[in-house]
Every structure is written in C-alpha cells, then in structure tokens.
Amino acid sequence: MRGLRAGFLTGLILFLGACTVSPDPGPEARAAAEQLSADINARSAFYSASPEQNEPDIKLFARVFERVRSDYVRSVDQDILLAAAATAIEDADPEPGESSRNWLVERAMKGMLESLDPYSTYLPENEYTAMKESMHGRFGGLGIQIAAPEKGGGIVVVSPLEGTPADRAGLRPGDIITHVDGKNIMGKTLREVVNELRGDVGTRVVLTIERESTSTFDVPLVRDVIRMDIVKWRLEGEFGYLRIASFTENAAEEVEDAVQEIRQHLGGRMAGLIIDLRNNPGGLLIESVAVSDAFIESGDIVSTKGRKRKQRYRATAGDIVGGLPIVVLINKGSASAAEILAGALKDHDRAILIGGRSYGKGTVQTIIPMGRGTAMKLTTARYFRPLGESVDGGIQPDVEAEDDIQTELDEGLARAIAELSRMASL
C-alpha cells in the first residue's frame, strides 16, 4: 500500500453499489465532452494516441458531467464546469503535447469536480481502491485526516488517527500544515497536498506545522501501514468507556459487541456509558445511523436533503444500555458521521455532550462507481439533526471541558465521569 489516504474518512459517505448505472449523457453533457475533446486536440498535433483511442475517456467525461448536472447538491452553471475542466488541462499540460489525452481527460474530471467543493473528486482506480480499503479499517500512510480551509491558506488537520505516526508525533486537530518537505503548500488544493504527502511505507516526510499560540515547527514522520482499532472499550469504575475511532464498515456491530462485553464485566452494576468521539473524523452514513439507533428508542436520527429527494432515517425500538445515562465526548476533531451520533443523542435528550465544539460538516458525499475500477465522490445532499438544525459551524457541547496539554490528566474524561456520577445518583 502506498501513500496517505488523506481526507477519505473526513466526510459522511454513502456508497452506491457497483451495479448502479449512470444516467445516459444528455445533449448538454455530450456537447461538453465534444468541446473537451476539441480543446485537447487543439493543444498539440504530437499526441501518440488517435482520437478514436481516446473515445472511452471522452464518454466517461460525459457521464461524470451528467452526474454533476443531475445529482450535485445544488444546480451548477455548466459553463463554470467546463471552465474548471479547461483550467485543469492547462495546469496539467503547460507545454502542449507533454501529456497523453487520457491523462488530460482524467485531470479535467478531477478539476471539474474539485471546483465544486473540498470533498467532491474523481477517483482513478488506485485512489478508489485505497478509499475502499480505508473503509475496512486498514490502509497506508500517516494516519491523518485533513481538510482544505474555506479561504485558502494551509491545510487543516481535522484529526490524527489514534496510534498512528501522526498521533505519536503529537499532531492535533486545528494544526495548519504550511510546508511538506520544505515546499510551501499554502493555497494549494487538498488533492495537490495529498499528492505531496504520498510515498512508500517506511519513507520519511517532514511537515511544517503552524499552531495557535506557538511559532511554526517541523514534525518528521515515517509513513506506515495503518491498522485502525475502530472500537475500544474499558471500565471506568461502574461506568463503561467506549471509544469509536471512525465509522467504517461493521462499526455498529463492534459497538454492540463492546457494550455487551462491558455489561458482562459489570453485571448489574453498570451505571452509565461514556462514548468518546474526540478526533473521530466521520465515515459511513449507514454506520453512524446504526450506532445512533442502538441507543435511541424512536424518532428521527438524521434527515438528508438533496436536489431530487429527501430521506429520513428513523430509530427502531430498543436501547442496548436500557436507558442508562450516557455522556458523549466531542472536540473540534469530531466530524460528520460523528456529529450525526452526537447530534441525535443530544436532540433526543439521550446524552450530555462534553468537550469542545465539533468540526461542523453538514454534507453527504456519494461514491458513484463509473466503470473500469474508477469512481466519483460527489456531494449530493445536506444532512440535518432530528430537531432540524444543520451541523455547519459545529455542535456546541452542553459542558465545555478542553484538555490541558500541559498535564497528563484527561480533563474531558474526568468531567464525563463526574457528570455520569451526578446523573446516576438522581
């Protein structure tokens, strides 16, 4: 496995099955593809491939273009899409004739999709494979989730994954990456930075970090194979402690198994549960819904609204802790799918939130297979908490408890235990 799988879990992801058929390109999409082909052909007469050999990729561009026109969360001016594709071609081929037609078509699709928002992109075969592997909880890289800021600047660390090179090096949510191996990345796109960070497992990379209240400093890291323990549990006196690192496949099943083990160890003495979502960058929509459903008896968990349809996800009867008090720990590294769980438990008065304001990402990305092992990741909907609020801007905790990095005490956990003790005694 190669490289950093940055940003893949930092989102709320919905997979469409491999059998999903993309809509046939309409006349606008076909015209856009013809324009793209003409632009590429006009750049040079020295391409090795003939226009006929390039036809499959031009058709793929038409299908991607049609998907954006029909399924993106809001309507988009197609002239703007074409302009973004043309700019991407010029950037990839500054000296006409240096790049193949197929490469330029791929660059055009990436440029078009990435102009929409920081989360949409085209995934060639290697990137699509890597993303699917990350959803299984094992991948290669630094163990860091990153996001592009809204107004340029460096790349923001959403969260380091527990037990990874980024975590061991002390990277924190909110850190700004300004340089990679001494190269300035300020103003670069998320995908450009990902390319800078990729490399063979065992190789070294140096990140320059800008952190609040400190001067910039360098952090050396060695790329590694990342194996994620999605769910961990332990006992805190008469309380159970449950750490959910991300919402990958089988997260809900692992949560239920962990709670069952906690209850078996504590027997009838279990007095409450702590769910730790700090630095949980998100993951799969269906997994976050299933985990929420495990603790909520009825009502809405989350609703999504796209251009074509609205959908509500509702809880089914049953609570795996039988109504015992719950405290949820969040911070600015708690994003997307983690915010669904925190928001649902808060809105149903099922839990108290402790910590810091969450990241605040309220959109859904759908993974759409496009054939030949490739896919596109497209923002298709916004999601809303049970009481109708978006999480844009983050979820404010009921009790603020920021950790003091100068001490070994986990202030958030200490406050959670204190709150559970108070709730259990009522």
Instruction: Report pLDDT for 420.
Output: 95
What is the spatial distance between Cα 270 and Cα 164, in angstroms, rounded to a whole number? 32
The domain 140-227: what is its CATH number? 2.30.42.10
Tell me how far the alpha carbon of residue 89 is from its chain's centroid: 27
Instruction: Report pLDDT for 16.
Output: 58
At the second CATH level, the architecture of 7-137+229-426 is Alpha-Beta Complex (3.90)
The string of pLDDT tens digits covering residues 133-146 is 777 766 668 888 78
Given a cut of 80, whether residue 338 has pLDDT beyond it is yes
Which range scores top for mean pLDDT: 18-32, 116-130, 377-391?
Answer: 377-391
Q: Max CA-CA distance within the chain? A: 80
What is the spatial distance between Cα 178 and Cα 182, in angstroms, rounded to a whole number? 9
Angle in degrees, CA 265, 271, 272, rounded to 5: 95
Kind of pairing between the strands at 399-400 and 352-355: parallel
**DSSP per residue, 103-149:** HHHHHHHHHHHHTT-SS-EEE-HHHHHHHHHHHTTEEEE--EEEE--
Instruction: Report pLDDT for 54.
Output: 56
> Residue 326: enclosing H or E segment and its boundaries?
strand 326-330
pLDDT band at 355 (very low <50, low <70, confident <90, very high): very high
pLDDT band at 1 (very low <50, low <70, confident <90, very high): very low
What is the spatial distance between Cα 195 and Cα 205, in angstroms, rounded to a whole number? 12
pLDDT band at 263 (very low <50, low <70, confident <90, very high): very high
Q: Which residue, among 188, 204, 200, 422, has the nearest Cα to 327 in the 3D structure?
A: 422
Of 69-73, 222-226, 367-371, minimum mean pLDDT range: 222-226
What is the spatial distance between Cα 227 and Cα 229, in angstroms, rounded to a whole number? 7
- Cβ–Cβ < 8 Å for 393, 360: yes
pLDDT band at 190 (very low <50, low <70, confident <90, very high): confident
- Mean pLDDT over each residue of the chain, to the nearest integer: 86
Given a cut of 60, whether residue 45 has pLDDT beyond it is no
For the annotated catalytic residues, the residue numbers are 336, 347, 361
As a whole number, mean pLDDT of residues 242-254 equals 93
Instruction: Report pLDDT for 12.
Output: 73
Instruction: Report pLDDT for 227.
Output: 72
Instruction: Report pLDDT for 111.
Output: 94
Kind of pairing between the strands at 11-15 and 363-371: parallel
As a whole number, mean pLDDT of residues 262-281 equals 93
Q: Which residue, among 337, 313, 6, 346, has the nearest Cα to 177 in the 3D structure?
A: 6
Residue extents of the structural domains in the chain:
7-137+229-426, 140-227
What is the spatial distance between Cα 403 and Cα 331, in angstroms, rounded to a whole number? 10
Instruction: Report pLDDT for 149.
Output: 65
Instruction: Report pLDDT for 166.
Output: 92
Kind of pairing between the strands at 374-384 and 11-15: unpaired
> How many C-beta neighbours within 10 Å does residue 279 have?
27
More confident residue, 214 or 83: 83
Given a cut of 60, whether residue 345 has pLDDT beyond it is yes
Q: Which residue, among 255, 404, 239, has the nearest Cα to 337 in the 3D structure?
A: 255
Instruction: Report pLDDT for 201.
Output: 82
What is the spatial distance between Cα 128 and Cα 115, in angstroms, rounded to a whole number? 19
